Amino acid sequence: MKITEQPLSDLKVIEYAHGITGPFCTKLLADLGAEVIKVEDPGIGDTTRRMEPFMGNEPHPERSGLFLYLNTNKLGITLNLKSPAGAKVFRDLIKDADILVENNSPGTMEALGLGYDTLKQINPRLVMASITPFGQTGPYRDYKSCDLIAYHIGGAGYGTPMQVDSLNHPPLKAGGHQAHFCTGLSAAILIMSAIFSRHTNGEGKHIDLSEHEAIAFNSGRDLATYTYMKTVQNRVNSGLTGFGMHLKCKDGSIMMYLINDIQWQRAVETMGNPEWARDDRFKDYISRSQNWETLEPLLEEWTGKLTKSEVAYIMQADHVACSPVNTIEEVMASEHMVSRDFFIDVDHPQTGSIKYPGPPCKLSKNQAQTARPAPALGQHNEEIICHRLGYAMTDLLKMREARVI
Amino acid sequence: MGKLPLEGVRVVDFTQIQAGPQATIWLAALGAEVIKIESNKRPDMLRTYFQLQTSSDDPSLNKSTHFAFLNYSKKGCTLNLTNPRAIEIAKELVKVSDVVAENFSVGVMERLGLDYATLQAIKPDLIMLSISGFGNTGPDKDHVAYAAMIHAFSGLASLTGYIGGDPTPSMGPFWSDKIAAQTGAFAVMVALHHRAMTGEGQYLDLSMSEATLAVLPEAVMDYTMNQIIREPKGNREDFMAPCGCYHCQGEDEWVAIAVANDEEWNALCGAMGNPEWAREERFSDQISRCRNQDALDVFIQEWTVNRGAYEVMEILQKAGVAAGPSVNVEQLANDPHLKERGFFVEMDHPEMGKGLLPRVPGKPIPTPIGNFHPAPSIGQHNDYVLRELLGIPEDEIARLVEDGAIY
């Protein structure tokens, strides 16, 4: 038995990926102790180096907050895989790697001579994940995508927002890059399942992950309702207003969720049992939904006199599900999040020490206290290529001259 | 058929409703034996929602469509956890299992005598996943939470919405449930690997709020680096123009289109037949297009509104422009690409009949994927769990039923 400081300390990961899906997947592994070597194209590097937000709003390849977050705890090298020397170094890295994560267009790795069939000859235990918008097969395999399109074609956007008054309001994607992050998480699950099964069968595996499927899987409940009832929910007919209530307060709004009549009764009592609450028009969630236009101002008469935080704490004291609608500033400042130590300080030469979102789940056996900042482009070329793989310094210089690195 | 990745792993699943079952469905579909614990006294609440009306019209806890998805490939056992004998049986089950999953309010497992410290004493290498809205510590730990409130609390709602409009806590896919579920499934697999390497179990404290904030780094980092508080951007993405969801032919048909650079812009113009307006100075480069996006959107929609959403996707993708319909669940269920990839699996449910449900995403090659059988009827696998697995004699089982422990 081996005592390890972090749950994944024994795993070696190679990442040849850009953007969010692949790098988020390997960040999840790196933050739990896996050694991740990030391979970037010389000169330009990962696309997120050119994505907002930038420290001080100044575009710079080492100052993108998105890149810095996605690449904590990784080592970074540059390699031109189109050159034979670059491809050879890559194959050397694969020899003792456990995991390869790539998210290039279908056929790219094969064209580089680095497809799974080739790599498994070098390392039969390799778990390789290929993440693409639509997968390696099927009629859409070569289609272009982005977060917006992935979210909508996967079925996540059509029903949002759930409570509009007319279908003229277009379907809406979630803020940020939710489709990409969800896909990165799916990849991490599938990779760890393959690593786990490798303990018993010793075999590697190639995972063909389609972002399209990753998003569509999250509509599983609605797919089940469709297959059995043929009903289709849209942005106006969800009936959610009967229990999901978004209400204005003095300084913003709250979200209250009254999943049954008991919760409704509790909420009404907390508001001091106003006369109107006994009205037949509000007797169950269907009637509350149908008479929402009458009900909303009555509720807001009460919530509007209080701050969103006051409403939430008064309701929660009576076990009514209610939360303030926070900005990022407000959630970061909330006493609860501060007490959980969720946000972590990461010190980077270009930004100084600033707060990043911390681990998405607290694992009792993850003892890591600090995070290493994201690598500068090619920062670990010498450490990996010379000290690890045994190339001479003169080889490194030649590679640099030939723009292999 | 090859072996599934998690074959041999047994999960005692106390989770209910959405975030928990959505986590354990990954484990079940990847081959783990997931035993769902509920009772007729306290069935998974989801069983009472979205119930299929069948000809018999009997009220049944076994006809919820949502339950049918979230619990396929799991086994069902009814233990009435208010009965001390049932708690003993639950502990016996934990002893022969690898993972416990739960998403009760914080403190419930402790009150039941099923907290991690107690369970670890009887099963030292146990892995336990607790999913809650806010985590197991902190002043708000007891707050009641559903996905929409986590969207609100975490800031995700403040970033979702139309430009200049209100924040949007009511997101169709109940996103935070999904993100938390995936995070939980991942954490369990990490812990399984760690256990295989070291022999140690561990406790996984999953806060839905934290799992959600971990996928909001753009907004968090813009705030910590620049003190900028981000607002909803509608369907737009940075540096993309046009970038939106446009009305198509038909009452509620929409297509998403996103253009990243001049090359794609020229391809888009070509596909639209090089209209005169596209040559205007204000649309001449990516920066100008981003600046004049509102005007651009009007022109784009004039073109899409006379075409079907799938037709626009085909025209534009052929030209090399990213485009795709905003699909409703009917279109999703009939999508030719998903079908060709074998994404939908037929399951024959004893009370609901045949239905097509999605497998987990990703095609592990060459191992065939999926451990598919329909969601359990309430108490369907009592005999398997109690008699076969735990070896409780039949007369004893009869007494436990009479006693109300098995209910």
pLDDT 10s digits, A282-305: 998 889 988 999 999 999 999 999
Tell whether pTM > 0.90: yes
- For position B259, what pLDDT does the model report? 98
Q: How far apart are CA A97 and CA A116, in angstroms?
A: 13
Cβ contact B254–A10 (<8 Å)? no
Provide the 3-class DSSP secondary structure of residue B352.
coil
- For position A402, what pLDDT does the model report? 93
DSSP letter (8 states) at residue A64: B
What percent of chain A is helix, strand and coil (3-state, nearest 5)? 40, 15, 45
203-242 in chain A: CB under 8 A from chain B: 205-210, 212-214, 216-230, 232-235, 238, 240
Average pLDDT rounded to a whole number, residues B239-266: 97
Sign of CA dihedral A146, A147, A152, A158: negative
Cβ contact A171–B217 (<8 Å)? no
- For position B2, what pLDDT does the model report? 62
User: pLDDT category, B55, cuts 50, 70, 90?
Assistant: low
Question: Six-digit token pair at A210?
Answer: 């389609």
Q: How many CB atoms lie within 10 A of CB A370?
A: 11
First to last CA, chain A: 39
CB contacts of B209 in chain A (<8 Å) are: 331, 337
Q: How far apart are CA A160 and CA A321, in angstroms?
A: 21
Would an 8 Å CB–CB cutoff place B282 in contact with chain A? no
- For position B1, what pLDDT does the model report? 44
Sign of CA dihedral A385, A386, A388, A391: positive
**Probe site for chain B from A149, A246, A348 (most B CB atoms < 10 A):** A149
For B23, the closest chain A residue by CA position comes to: A189
What b/e readout covers A161-179, taking b as 16+ CB neighbours within 10 angstroms?
Answer: bbbbeeeeebbbbbbbbbb
Would an 8 Å CB–CB cutoff place B305 in contact with chain A? no
pLDDT for B53 beyond 90: no
Residue spans of alpha helices (H) in B96-174: 108-111, 116-122, 147-154, 156-159
Question: Six-digit token pair at B315?
Answer: 């025209």
DSSP letter (8 states) at residue B114: -
Would an 8 Å CB–CB cutoff place A328 in contact with chain B? yes
- B358-381 pLDDT, tens digit per residue, is 999 998 754 555 568 999 999 999
Q: For chain A, which residues score pLDDT lower than 70?
A: 1-4
Residues A312/A264, Cβ–Cβ less than 8 Å: no
In Å, the largest CA–CA distance within chain B is 86
Average pLDDT rounded to a whole number, residues B8-27: 97
- For position B47, what pLDDT does the model report? 94
Would an 8 Å CB–CB cutoff place B143 in contact with chain A? yes
Average pLDDT rounded to a whole number, residues B208-236: 98
Question: Six-digit token pair at A351?
Answer: 């930004």
- B281-311 pLDDT, tens digit per residue, is 999 999 999 999 999 999 999 999 999 999 9
Q: How far apart are CA A202 and CA A214, in angstroms?
A: 27
- For position B257, what pLDDT does the model report? 98
- List the Cα angle A24/A27/A33 in 5-degree steps: 160
Q: How many CB atoms lie within 10 A of CB A340?
A: 23
Residues B100/B9, Cβ–Cβ less than 8 Å: no
pLDDT for B19 beyond 50: yes
A340 φ/ψ angles, rounded to the nearest 5 degrees: -85, -5
Burial of A222 (0-12, 13-18, 19+ CB in 10 A): buried
Cβ contact B361–A210 (<8 Å)? yes
**Probe site for chain B from A331, A332, A350 (most B CB atoms < 10 A):** A331
Residues B184/B135, Cβ–Cβ less than 8 Å: no
Question: Six-digit token pair at A125?
Answer: 């235990």
Q: How far apart are CA B60 and CA A378, in angstroms?
A: 62
